[in-house]
Amino acid sequence: MARKIFLLLLALMLMLSVLGCTPEESPQEQLRVASLGSPVNLNPLFIRDNFSFEVVSLVHASLITFNNETLEVEPSLVKEWSVEDEGRTYVLNFNDNAKWTDGTPLTAEDAAFTLRVICHPDFTGYQYALFFNAITGSQDYHSNHNSPLADGSIEGIEVIDENTLKISLDRQMAPFLTYLNFFPLPAHIFGDVPVAEMEAHDYSRNPEVTAGPYILNQWVTDEYLYFVSNPDFFLGQPEIDEIYFRIIPNQEAQLIELINGDLDLIPTAVKLEDVEELEKNPNIKIYSNLRLVYDYLGFNMHNPESPLYNKEVRQALSMVLDREALVRDILLDYGRVAYGPLTPLHFPFDENFQAYFVDKQKALELLKDAGYDEGFELRLILNAGNEVRENAALMFKEAAEAIGVEVTIQTLEWQAYMEAAMQGDFDVIISGQGSDPDPDLTFNWHSQSPLNELGYVNEEVDSLIEEAAVALEQAERTMLYREAQEMIVDDAPMVWLYYREAVHGASDRLMNFKPHPNNVFYQVHLWKFK
Amino acid sequence: MRSFLTKRMIQTLVVLVGVSLITFFMMNLAPGDPFMMDPEMRMNPEAVARWKELRQLDRPLHEQYYSWLVNLLKGDFGISLIHNRPVLELITERLPATLLLTGTSLLVALLFAVPLGILSAVKQGTFLDKWISFFTLCGVSLPNFWLGMLLILLFAYHLNWLPASSLRTVGVAASFYDYIKHLILPVVVLSTGSAAYYIRYIRAGILEVIGQDYILTARAKGLKESTVLFRHILRNSMIPVVTVVSLSLPFLFTGAMVTEYVFSWPGMGRWIIMATLSRDYPSVLAVNVIVAALVVLCNLGADLLYAYFDPRIKYR
């Protein structure tokens, strides 16, 4: 009987090997990219997840873009611009060869229309409140526009001619140019669509009229999206003819497919522990780059009764965690220690300021000065499924206990975690903070920001941030942000942990792939195979 | 029989309303909010309010539930809060892939389980029985996640014979052969566990019947052993098997969440997990109600099959 079983297994193995041997090589001009999840909505104004953003950047074109190394504003649909009236007026000149895939020219009116959608009272994105309420007349439009359509006009948005758009602001706003990194909608498609119905419009699933480097040809749910190059793309037809955006949630499966040659690119999601092995493979190239995000360990400062309300306690807790070890042992050196709110990619970044380093003796002294030398207890929350943060939490717990602070770690499912974060139901939270290419600290550090979940209040910092937001000279802004950073760090509202690098794995045949802090498909039209 | 069916239909309605009610209120009472899947929305509370208003999430819970129930009676499962598309459309897009995987796995499991279960019982105590018992013990004990990763490592990575993910090769013309290649590993994972369970049930059922007096009588009458086995033993030992198979049928619909994740299978399982994590109330409600309905219907089907396999069972 054992012999029969052996023969049966042998036959099965032979059958499998025959199945595996049949050649099914895909053509060279196909790029196969892996994604951990499915996009949800391909209307660029209603992107609510990273997967959708990646796909949207393939099929849509933005007004401006950012250099992958310097983050300086680069032309895109807008080929040149001028800033007038002491920073209150922006005149944008559009590329005259840009057109939608149905042949209609992409004009300044499309951008004006998109801005009207964003400022419309029925629009449910965050862009209006954050970026565009400084446009003259936008607040009036947002409050009083009665039509369900994005029709009418906004005083500060003027279409001079087909290729020229003038935007006037009612106050100076230094980062305004960077806010123009949005993807315009085709006005001739959406002109008759009520703004309230745009998110659920068929376009979100089938964006037939687009202007980006690729055209969506097929979307097979949860399996793949198939794109073909846009022959009329205004920067030239992409070198690679077709892209398959494959949805593979299992990271190990992604890796195996890359090694087997069934994938050409794993953007961002290569596991750190796999990098060493991949680097030995001559057919695979590893890329890594910093992003505009850092993880932190934040202190809840809402409650005056809490020890964390005391600055000296927070400073003491900032001196216990060995962040160098965290980056070395947990991030395997794919990252940098963070010491303050400005990321190394931002122009005002400067490492020469008074930061906190491990000093247990000093921490104990500070606790004693604050009257907490008997120790106290803290509840730390973090989201489940992030191994690096889980390790950071354990390291902090151990380090804090060395100065008499008992830390209870609570790992929560995402929604429960977010609710706890928003309601301030924690003592310490591990979270991440992202920022825009402009170093503006308003959203993350101004006391009135809706994102101020830690309850950080420093009026001097508020003033510096407000001043920097309207200063037009980069040197002046640099000085103001550095000053604000020093004050924020001195207040120790959080322990900045690390800037984690994105690690990408690509076939060595892929050329011109340039990792970008917030755009996987940066200059995708120039990518090609060897 | 008619009154039995009427009673069961009334019970079904009560169960469905109960399941939907419990699911609806549990989902709403759980921490979180659908808009939190996009943390950046926190930056504009006014837009969040408008977003909820457009989806009628600002209305009292009982009104939301009533409105959902009325729509359900019209065959409308509602609109997904995350995808902004009809839930039914989202289900029908994913169901074929799930049924392909779970249906094939069920068939393969039964294909192996029935003969092995019979063999194991008939050859009780032999080397073969012990070997089959060892296999079933392994099958029941191996977690799908672990077995799946092991098979991927062996067949996709080291041997490179079979694909590690998805249900077809992208970029080449679809073929039956290609689907089979992609099906092998996930089907092996799914059917290993269920086949092991079925073998145990079939073996136990047969052993219970095999010692009965009427089997002795059949053999004493001089019937052929195959007739005794198939006509007298197998038919009478099917009741526990019918129970376990019919209870597993509803889960053909929800898919196998872990296996779908491991093999990146584009089915219902992954979508249901995402819908739950993102508090997509209409999607989760629809799935729960459909599964509850299937459980009730499959139970009813099992009850009717009992009467077929054992004529002593009568329903009034």
Q: Which amino acid type is present at position A359?
A: D
Q: Confirm or reject contact between A196 and chain B (CB < 8 A).
A: yes
Mean per-residue pLDDT for A144-167? 96
Residues 6+ positions from A499 with CB-CB distance below 8 Å: A290, A291, A293, A294, A335, A336, A338, A343, A344
B314 within some domain: no
Verify that B49 and B120 share a domain, yes or no.
no
Q: Confirm or reject contact between B220 and chain A (CB < 8 A).
A: no
Count of the separate structural domains present in chain B: 2
Residue B303's pLDDT is what? 83
Residue A5 has pLDDT above 80, yes or no: no
Residue B113's pLDDT is what? 93
Window 78-97 of B: residues touching A by CB (8 A cutoff) are 79, 82-85, 93-94, 97
In our burial notation (b when 16+ CB lie closer than 10 A, e otherwise), range B163-176 reads bbbbbbbbbeeeee
Residue B227's pLDDT is what? 87
Q: Print the domain residue range for A154.
A: 64-197
User: Does A348 or B211 have the greater pLDDT score?
Assistant: A348
- Mark out the alpha helices in A260-386 (DSSP H runs): 272-279, 311-317, 323-325, 360-370
Residue A3's pLDDT is what? 54
Mean per-residue pLDDT for A58-64? 97
Q: Which residues of A touch B41 (CB under 8 A)?
A: 48, 125-126
Residue A27's pLDDT is what? 45
A193 within some domain: yes
Verify that A263 and A351 share a domain, yes or no.
no
Verify that A355 and A486 share a domain, yes or no.
yes
Residue A22's pLDDT is what? 42
Q: Which residues of A touch B39 (CB under 8 A)?
A: 418
Verify that B121 and B257 share a domain, yes or no.
yes
B43 within some domain: yes
Residue A529's pLDDT is what? 95
Residue A361 has pLDDT above 70, yes or no: yes
Q: Print the domain residue range for B22.
A: 2-73
- Looking from the CA of B153 toward its CB, the CA atoms found within 13 Å total 6
B86 within some domain: no
For residue B34, what pLDDT band results from cuts at 50, 70 and 90?
A: confident
Are the beta carbons of A207 and A121 closer than 8 angstroms? no
**Of A146, A178, A197, which residue constitutes the final position of a domain?**
A197
Q: Which residue of A has its CA nearest to B49?
A: A124
B81 within some domain: no
Residue A353's pLDDT is what? 83
Residue B315's pLDDT is what? 66
For residue B316, what pLDDT band results from cuts at 50, 70 and 90?
A: low
Verify that A241 and A170 share a domain, yes or no.
no
A167 within some domain: yes
Residue B300's pLDDT is what? 84
Contact A126 B47 (CB under 8 A): yes
Mean per-residue pLDDT for A88-116? 97
For residue A20, what pLDDT band results from cuts at 50, 70 and 90?
A: very low
Verify that A382 and A518 share a domain, yes or no.
no
Contact A260 B159 (CB under 8 A): no
Verify that A240 and A282 share a domain, yes or no.
yes
In the predicted model, what is the mean pLDDT of chain B? 89
Residue A15 has pLDDT above 60, yes or no: no
Q: Which residue of A has its CA nearest to B160?
A: A20
Residue B242's pLDDT is what? 82
Contact A415 B171 (CB under 8 A): no
Verify that A424 and A475 share a domain, yes or no.
yes
B84 within some domain: no
Verify that A266 and A374 share a domain, yes or no.
no
Q: Which residue of B has its CA nearest to A51?
A: B38
Verify that A280 and A325 share a domain, yes or no.
no
A302 within some domain: yes
Q: Confirm or reject contact between B138 and chain A (CB < 8 A).
A: no
**Of A148, A170, A197, which residue constitutes the final position of a domain?**
A197
Residue B188 has pLDDT above 90, yes or no: yes
Residue B159 has pLDDT above 50, yes or no: yes
pLDDT tens digits for range A232-265 = 999 999 999 999 999 999 999 999 999 999 999 9
Verify that B105 and B19 share a domain, yes or no.
no
Q: Confirm or reject contact between B176 and chain A (CB < 8 A).
A: no
A58 within some domain: no
Residue A26's pLDDT is what? 45
User: Does A494 or B227 have the greater pLDDT score?
Assistant: A494
Q: Confirm or reject contact between B177 and chain A (CB < 8 A).
A: yes
pLDDT tens digits for range B100-113 = 999 999 999 999 99
Verify that B204 and B231 share a domain, yes or no.
yes
Question: What's the burial of A185, exposed, middle or buried (CB within 10 Å: 0-12/13-18/19+)?
Answer: buried
Mean per-residue pLDDT for B232-244? 81
Task: Report the C-alpha gap between B59 and A484 in whole angstroms.
Answer: 43
For residue B226, what pLDDT band results from cuts at 50, 70 and 90?
A: confident
CATH number at residue A110: 3.90.76.10
Mean per-residue pLDDT for B146-172? 92
Q: Confirm or reject contact between B262 and chain A (CB < 8 A).
A: yes
Residue B160 has pLDDT above 80, yes or no: yes
